[in-house]
Structure 1
Amino acid sequence: MIIITGAAGFIGSCLIHKLNSEGYTDLVLVDDFSDAAKNKNLDNKKFTLKVDREDFIAWIPQHQLHIQFVFHIGARTDTTEFDRSVLDKLNLDYTKEVWNACVEFGLPLVYASSAATYGLGEEGYDDDEQKIPLLKPLNPYGDSKNDFDIWALQQEKKPYFWAGLKFFNVYGPNEYHKARMASVIFHTFNRIRETGEMKLFQSHKPGIADGEQQRDFVYVKDVLDVLYFLMHHRKDCGIYNLGSGKARTFRDLASLTFNAMGLEPRISFIPTPEDIRDKYQYFTEATMDKLASIGYHKPFHTLEEGISDYVKNYLTPGRYL
C-alpha cells in the first residue's frame, strides 16, 4: 500500500497516474475531497481507498503494517495566503505529524518542500543543508516550508529513509483547478486563446530587459520520474532541489506557447504590480548536482519539449494525465 497525500491536486494526481502506469494500484489517497474541480483529476485512476486528510493521522496506526511508502505532497500552496495560522496548521504542524508517524512505524517518506524557501536567492539556489537556516523566504508559504525543513534536519529521530524535495516552477497537466496558482504556461495558453496575445510583466531592474526575468520551469513528468526513483532508491536521505537545472526567460515561455499553438507570438508588457514588485524574483535556477550524485541521471525535458507536449497533448484537447 502506497500513501499519497494531496492526491486530488496537481502533482499528487499525476503521481497516481505514474504509479498506475507502473502497475501500482494499491494506493491510499489522502486529501480534502470536497472540491469537485480537483476530483476530476482522479477520473480513471486506480486506487484502493480515499481517506480525508483530517482523519489520516489517526488512520495510520491502524493500517501501518500494510503501508510500504508515504508520499506527502499535500500542502496549502497559495503564495498569497498571509494567515500564518492556516499555513502552520496545514504545512508545518501536519507535516510534523506525518513525519512522527513515519518514525514510529518505520515508514519511508518523501515530502514536498519548495523553491519558495530560497527567497530572492541571496544564498544562491544550492541545496546545501548547511545553508537552509540562512534562507529568507519572501512570504508565509515559503516560511512554512523552510520552517519544516529546518525542523526535520534538527530531529534526532528520523524515518529510516526520508527526502524533502524543493519543487521549482512545476507545470503540466492536471492543474486546471488551481486558478491563479496554476503555472504561467497554463495562464499563457488561456490568455492567448482568449485574446490572441500575452502580456508579461515589465522589468524594473536595471540591466534586465522586459520579459528577460528567468525561472527554473520543470515539467511535471520529470518530477514524477524523480519521485518514482526515490521510492525504489530508499537511501541517501536529505533535502534535494527538484528543478530542470536550467533557467529560462518568460519571453521564451510565451513564445514557445504561441509556437505550440501554431501562432505567431504577440507579446506586450505591463508594469509589475507595486505590491509584489519589491519581492519579485528575477532569477531562479536549481543546482541539480546533489540529485545526480545519488544516481539520478535521466535527462529532463527542455522547455521546448515540455511546453510542446503540454500544449498539444493536454491543454488543447482538455485532457488530464
Structure 2
Amino acid sequence: MTDAPPRTDDVVATHEQAAWSPREPLIVLEPLEAFLDAAGVGAGAPTAEPLGDGHSNVTYAIDRGDDRFVLRRPPRGPLAPSTHDVLREARLLTALERAGVRVPEIVATCDDDAVIGAPFYVMRRIDGHVLTTELPADFSRPADPGAIAWQLVDGLVELHAVDIDATGIGEFGRRDGYLERQIRRFRGLLEGNAARPLPELHELADWLDATRPAGGGLSIVHGDYRLGNMMYAAEPGTRLVAVLDWEMATLGDPLADVGYMTATWADPGDADDPMLDLSAVTRLSGFPGRLALAERYAQRSGRDLSNLRWYQTLALWKSAIFLESSYQRFLAGSTDDAFFGRLEAGVPMLARRAARLAWEG
C-alpha cells in the first residue's frame, strides 16, 4: 500500500486562498517569500514540495531558483503540550553544528504564526539519500551496507561524546531523573490518549518502572535515532552526512538512543511492525544485524550495554504510545497521513513485540 499524494490544500499561494481552504494549509507561499526576502535567504518565487517519511513535524523542500532549502514546521493540531517545538529544535541544531555534529545549517527562524500559520525554521538542503526500503543505485557496491551501519553507530558515538557544557547544550533538559521522567510522561500519554484496550502497554509501564536501571550516564539524547532519520552520500565512499529530525532531543541517558537505534533496526526474519517497516532496507543481504550494531557502539564508546534489552523495550513501548496518539489524530481527521491509518493494527503489533522482548528476551 502506498501513501496518498499530498493534498493540494497543503500549499496555497495567499492568505486569501488559505481562508477559503477546507482546512488549514501547511505552507502559504507569498508571505513565506516575503519572509525569506527579508531574511536574505535566496531569491525568487519559492516552490514547496513535501519531503521524507517523517510523520510528526512537517518538512518541505523549498526551492528559490538554484537555491535549495528545507522548511520545518509543526503538523496541524490538536497537538500534545510541549511537543513540536520547532524553534527549540532550531536552537539545538545551531549549537550542535558549532560542536561539529553532522547536522544541517540553520539559515532562518520565524516565531510569527501570521506568516504560514505556525512557527518554522529554514535550513540549507544537503545532498544525499534517506534510506528506507531500498538502496539507491549509487549504493549498490557490496561494501555499502556495512558502511551504512557503521556510520550510523559512529555518528551516535560522536553525538554522545559532545561536551554539553562547552557547547551550551546544557540548557536543553534536566540533568537527572531522565528514565523515571520518561516512564511517567509516557504513562500519562497512554492514559490520556488511548481510546481502545492496549493491555500490554499498561503492563509494560509497570515492568519498566519496577526494573528501571540506574542509568548509563548523561549526554544529549536524540530521541529518534534510527536509519530513516539519517542522510547518506555514496561518493566519495559511503558517508553519513546529516542527522535529521531533532524534535525529541533532550539531555538524558545515552543508552536510550542505543536501545532505540537497535530496536528499530530490521533484521532478516523479523516480523513486520510500524517501526521496522520504516527501515526495511536493512533486511537486504550484506547488512549486519542489530547485535553487531550494539557491539560496535559498546566498543567505540566504552559504555556497558548489559541492560540493552530494557532500553530496547523502553524504545518500543514509547513508540507504541506515541503512535497511538497519532492514530487518534488520524481518527479525528486532523491528518490524512496513510501511515497513521495503518496504526489500527500497527500499534497493537508493536505493543506485542515490546511485551515479547520484556517477558521472553
TM-score, shorter chain, exceeding 0.5 = no
The TM-score, its normalising length taken from structure 2, stands at 0.27
Compare CA radii of gyration and give the structure with the larger one.
Answer: 2
- Could you state the TM-score of these two structures normalised by the residue count of structure 1? 0.29
